[in-house]
Structure 1
Amino acid sequence: MSTSTSRSDAQIASEVAALLPDLVADLKALVAIPSIATDGYPTEPLFAAHDLIVDMLRDAGVERIDDLVIEGKTAPVILATVPGPSESAPTVLMYTHYDVVPADDVELWDTPPFEPAERDGAIYGRGSADSKANIVSILGALRVWGGKPPVTVKLVLEGQEEFGSPFDFYPVKNPELFAADAMVIADVGSVRPGVPTLTVALRGSAQVSVEARTLEADKHSGLYGGAAPDARLALIRALASLHDDNGDVAVPGLRREEWTGSSYTEAEFRELAEILDNVELQGTGSIGERIWSGPAITVIGFDAPNADAAVNAVAGAARAVLNVRVHPGQDAEEAQRAVIDHLKALRPFGVELTVTAGETGNGFAATTGGPAFDAAEAALTTAWGAQAGEMAGGGSIPLVMALDTAVPEAEKLLFGATDGYANIHGPNERVLIDELAKATEAKALFFRNYAEAMRS
């Protein structure tokens, strides 16, 4: 492959097309390895995936490859550096991960999850989209440049992202290891196939526990029901106050704004969320406003007997755990406090509630309009042949917040090879081969665009 830094769009597209059969073969080889990094699963596949990626990196011309072993963690982090053409070349850190979630729901898969299957222009298998396709697209971009890109590339490929990632905290304590001018976090994708998308925001998260206690012990509902205060009913009444009649969050102090970027249509969202035909969507406003730039409160735990083993008793105690999703620009502890204050002010049927703060994690809002952002937006637009849009993520990615804290001056870019229909973490996870090709092309173009922008 040529190493000229003045490669044309057409040259890069042509070389990606020539590489694509090998990239597909590489992805299949990685998907075939059940690299699950959690208790109860063997560690040998993790190290097999690690070793195969190292071999692929060497084949792509990468010479400086090291392992970062973090105490108490099993899977090593692959660290690699590909020097740019000069010391003045900008540095781009590229992150993704090679571990995957389990696929215990084998009966729901059309083909075995760790036997990669190619059909209808897609590769099916656990980890195909999350996030082995992103590893392959990074490798492909380096191969396009013959292992000599016009920027310095630092690779950080984690092996324990899905369960107990040390990178939720490690970058903040070791910022020098992650120093870069720009970062590409390739653990996301586009809103839908054929529509290139940069993720520019992630909601934060906070946990809140709320408890009602009314009796020393449960009492017979026939003898005491009607006058003895039912803790479960009191708690349900309190939880109902968190939303208005439309299903919008009704807690004062939680930030919500209009979403103006790309988003799902209501029909797409219904399909992706598998909402029953006779059920309305919750809340008002655009889908993007409801799931990205507005708050959400979900009851994720509730103490109650199983309905099949119900007992005729007035409950003396009840407890629920709430997950609060927070606007990307709002401090998660501030939002948590708003929910706690709201619940503490209630007295459902005269019952005082005990409300406890749990874990919090701030959201992320990217800086847009910088040289790296503009270079990436142009690269995605060229690769896909469609104007790149912006979306957000409803779930938090602690790594992104950790990197932003560790290296705040670096531009953070979130884009990748997957799309909203990839069914990551679910049965029949897949990545479209065309999206893999376009993501590879976009990364190769980004290297060129960003190098040129930083020279001007």
Structure 2
Amino acid sequence: MADVAAIKAATAALMPEVIERLEHLVTIPSIAFPGFPADPVHAMADAVVQLLKDAGATGAELLDVPGGYPAVYAELPGPEGAPTVLLYAHYDVQPAPESQGWTTDPWTPTMKDGRMFGRGAADDKSGLAIHFGTLKQLAADPPCTIKVLIEGEEETASHLGPFVSANSERFAADVYVIADVGPQAVGRPALTTALRGNVICTVTVSTLANPVHSGIFGGAAPDAVTALIRILDTLHDENGDTVIPGVTSGTWGGADIDEPVYRAGSAILDGVDYLGTGSLSDRIWAKPSVTVIGMDIPSVAAASNVLIPSVSARVAMRVAPGVPGEQQLEALMAHLRAQRPWNAVVEVEPFKFGDAFVDEGSPGIRAAEAALAAVYETEVECIGAGGSIPLVGRLHGLFPEASIVLWGAEDTELARIHASDESVDPAEIERMIAAQTLFLSTLG
């Protein structure tokens, strides 16, 4: 194995620059969602190109992804016969509305209690920082062929998957390193060996041709909001388990979820019960979970004494690892279409699907585990992730013999990704840079 102490020392020396680079990236509001300005997203893509070039990937370039924002790509040839590793992260971020209750400006990186706060500081600009620090150490003399692929639409309806399929030879690798997850808590090294998939659809319920007075017509004429509520109530049983015909469930066989860490990270209010049955690990990492993530209905401020003629909801379901996402999306939509209280008109349209993923024992996983253990000097946990990364299932389908390593600096306990006061621990980024550098050196 490469000299662990030397890699850790070199990484420590790089950290002031790594932090400075991360701070700059956090200032760019690269929200790729429809309706948000495009200029910051393109500015972020350009900043990533420059980041990779400054790290030694002089050929870094933008790739035009049809229908979407550009990806960033670089390739550094390694010795003949050495394996090929593709490093992945994404540069787009979630919105950060004031309604979330931020205590710092989401676009101003702020150090507090040893952590950097800001939208994207963890998800997933920390992944960019990890790749930057790795390339700074290896780009001059790559131990293996290194490809880098940075996506611009991971948080929204991604167009990258079809593009990768259409250009599969360019993105072929022996090992894929996805720096977009993290451990349960800082300082506890973890490999994510399973991802739930993510499928999303939009359900629209209509009952009337136009709004009508709720006093004159209410009591016989059904309103669409009430009909929609009754439909959504069928997605869970009395325990809170997702109960949809054709939707697959599972059990978790790896490390257990640390319940205090989960409770702290989830922000569940005192006295509020957990959903579902089975172990906490089963519920988060192995079972389906359906959530209503948005509704188009009148707000309280705009409430009027009328029956509402038509409303919509966006429904997202996390899919058990190893189960095809498209199949599960069809089951979800079929269930929603079958619910027609008072013969309401129910329309369901697909929005997005991403396959789940499982890899527990490939050679790359074992080598990555050894690198983590050497850097952290402690035992490595093999955990799942309740979230999903759309490209992972695509890569697994295109290159089934390749290893897919999922790790990063987004700790469950404090990172608060997608929520207010998102943050990352720079010390965790430092350890992950050292682990990733060691891992690639070992592969070479």
**TM-score, structure 2 as length reference:** 0.85
Distance 1:18 1:161 in 2: 31
User: What does 1:377-456 correspond to in 2, within 5 Å?
Assistant: 377-420=369-412, 421-451=414-444
1:81 aligned to 2:79?
A: no
CA 1:126–1:303: 2 relative to 1, 3 Å: closer
CA 1:190–1:354: 2 relative to 1, 3 Å: same
1:188 aligned counterpart, secondary structure: coil
Question: Could you tell me how far 1:27 is from its partner in structure 2?
Answer: 2.6
In structure 1, the residue matched to 2:25 is 30
CA 1:27–1:342: 2 relative to 1, 3 Å: closer
Residues 64-122 of structure 1: CA distance to partner in whole angstroms, max 9, x if unpaired?
434423456554x33222222x2100110111133444545399544444443334332
Distance 2:138 2:22 in 1: 20
Question: Could you tell me how far 1:217 is from its partner in structure 2?
Answer: 6.0
In structure 2, the residue matched to 1:454 is none
Distance 1:102 1:218 in 2: 32
1:8 aligned to 2:16?
A: no
In structure 2, the residue matched to 1:142 is 135
Distance 2:100 2:289 in 1: 32
Question: Could you tell me how far 1:347 is from its partner in structure 2?
Answer: 6.3
One-letter amino acid of the counterpart of residue 324, structure 1: M
Percent identical among aligned pairs is: 39
1:42 aligned to 2:39?
A: yes
**Higher Cα radius of gyration:** 1
Distance 2:338 2:152 in 1: 45
CA 1:362–1:156: 2 relative to 1, 3 Å: closer
2:235·2:244 contact (CA, 8 Å) conserved in 1? yes
User: What does 1:162-177 correspond to in 2, within 5 Å?
Assistant: 162-163=155-156, 165-177=158-170
2:184·2:261 contact (CA, 8 Å) conserved in 1? no
1:173·1:406 contact (CA, 8 Å) conserved in 2? no
Question: Could you tell me how far 1:432 is from its partner in structure 2?
Answer: 0.9
1:259 aligned counterpart, secondary structure: coil
User: What does 1:299-378 correspond to in 2, within 5 Å?
Assistant: 299-302=292-295, 304-307=297-300, 310-312=303-305, 320-343=313-336, 348=341, 351=343, 354=346, 356-378=348-370
Residues 170-201 of structure 1: CA distance to partner in whole angstroms, max 9, x if unpaired?
10111011011111011222222112222222
How many residues matched?
A: 440
User: What does 1:249-288 correspond to in 2, within 5 Å?
Assistant: 249-288=242-281
CA 1:277–1:408: 2 relative to 1, 3 Å: same
Question: Could you tell me how far 1:437 is from its partner in structure 2?
Answer: 1.1
One-letter amino acid of the counterpart of residue 425, structure 2: L
2:176·2:404 contact (CA, 8 Å) conserved in 1? yes
In structure 2, the residue matched to 1:105 is 98
Question: Could you tell me how far 1:142 is from its partner in structure 2?
Answer: 3.1
Residues 186-242 of structure 1: CA distance to partner in whole angstroms, max 9, x if unpaired?
122222211222222222233455566556666655565555556554543343233
Distance 1:379 1:160 in 2: 30
Distance 1:131 1:370 in 2: 25
In structure 1, the residue matched to 2:14 is 19
Distance 1:416 1:22 in 2: 19
Distance 2:105 2:299 in 1: 34
CA 1:220–1:167: 2 relative to 1, 3 Å: closer
Distance 1:26 1:73 in 2: 26
One-letter amino acid of the counterpart of residue 385, structure 2: G
2:193 aligned counterpart, secondary structure: strand
Deviates more, 1:271-280 or 1:142-151: 142-151
Runs (5+) with no aligned partner, structure 2: none
In structure 2, the residue matched to 1:53 is 51
Distance 1:106 1:304 in 2: 18
Distance 1:254 1:230 in 2: 29
Deviates more, 1:264-273 or 1:185-194: 264-273
CA 1:448–1:353: 2 relative to 1, 3 Å: same
Distance 1:69 1:184 in 2: 22
1:297·1:324 contact (CA, 8 Å) conserved in 2? yes
Question: Could you tell me how far 1:158 is from its partner in structure 2?
Answer: 3.4
CA 1:417–1:239: 2 relative to 1, 3 Å: closer
1:194 aligned counterpart, secondary structure: coil
Deviates more, 1:434-443 or 1:125-134: 125-134
One-letter amino acid of the counterpart of residue 116, structure 2: I
Distance 1:146 1:139 in 2: 10
Deviates more, 1:296-305 or 1:186-195: 296-305
1:169 aligned counterpart, secondary structure: helix
Question: Could you tell me how far 1:363 is from its partner in structure 2?
Answer: 2.1
2:319·2:356 contact (CA, 8 Å) conserved in 1? no
2:119 aligned counterpart, secondary structure: coil
1:277 aligned counterpart, secondary structure: coil
CA 1:310–1:169: 2 relative to 1, 3 Å: same
**TM-score, structure 1 as length reference:** 0.83
1:153 aligned counterpart, secondary structure: strand
CA 1:108–1:371: 2 relative to 1, 3 Å: same
CA 1:17–1:234: 2 relative to 1, 3 Å: closer
1:124 aligned to 2:117?
A: yes
